[in-house]
Amino acid sequence: MDSLLQVSIDFEHSHLVFPTIIACILGVLSVAILLTRYKQSRQSVTQAPELPATDGTIEGAGEGMDKPRFFGTLLLTLLYFSAMVPVGDYWPNTGLGFLLCSIPYILATGLLFMHERTLRNARALIAVALIAPTVIWYLFTELFFLTLP
């Protein structure tokens, strides 16, 4: 009966739990998409428009690209990851670095990708930017006892 009350953690492999769970979920979702949309995806592949012929150079590679959103996303993501640890160092082992950096990151990224920047859409985005990171921070900190950066 003593063995039921003892917990042993294999620290060499315990960090692989969440990536394994995520990989399994993504695999199941991929199979579900393939099973439910196979016919539709086959039609879209056969009806795909012809791509213009190129001579193998990189010129013209980004013609149809939305450059402000692409480079804006890269910049915001770099700022987000580089600011998370220094902000979190002010309140170590609390996850506030994640929380305080995620709110403006989600808000800025949402505004960047928002096609119609109306007050109504902005209110919804502000609500998501405040609620989603707060719920994630609470779940990890209080329920899972995991510290975020």
pLDDT digits (tens, 9 = 90+) for 44-73: 656 656 655 555 566 666 677 788 999 999
Poorest-pLDDT segment among 22-26, 34-38, 71-75: 34-38
For 70, phi and psi rounded to 5 degrees? -65, -55
Q: What rounded mean pLDDT belongs to the chain?
A: 83
Which phi-psi region, left, alpha or beta, contains residue 60 (left: φ > 0; alpha: ψ -120 to 50)? left
DSSP tag of 58: S
CA separation, residue 15 to residues 38, 83, 107, 126 (Å): 35, 23, 30, 33
Could you read off the pLDDT of 71-82 as tens digits, one per residue?
999 999 999 999
The whole-number pLDDT of residue 92 equals 83
Mean pLDDT in residue range 88-97? 86
Could you read off the pLDDT of 108-128 as tens digits, one per residue?
999 999 988 899 989 999 999
The whole-number pLDDT of residue 133 equals 94
DSSP tag of 100: H
CA 82 from chain centre, in angstroms, equals 16
DSSP 1-27: -GGGG-----TTTGGGHHHHHHHHHHH
Residues above pLDDT 90, as percent of the chain: 43
Q: Is the pLDDT of residue 34 over 60?
A: yes
The whole-number pLDDT of residue 149 equals 75
The whole-number pLDDT of residue 141 equals 85
CA separation, residue 19 to residues 12, 22, 104, 131, 144 (Å): 14, 5, 26, 24, 16
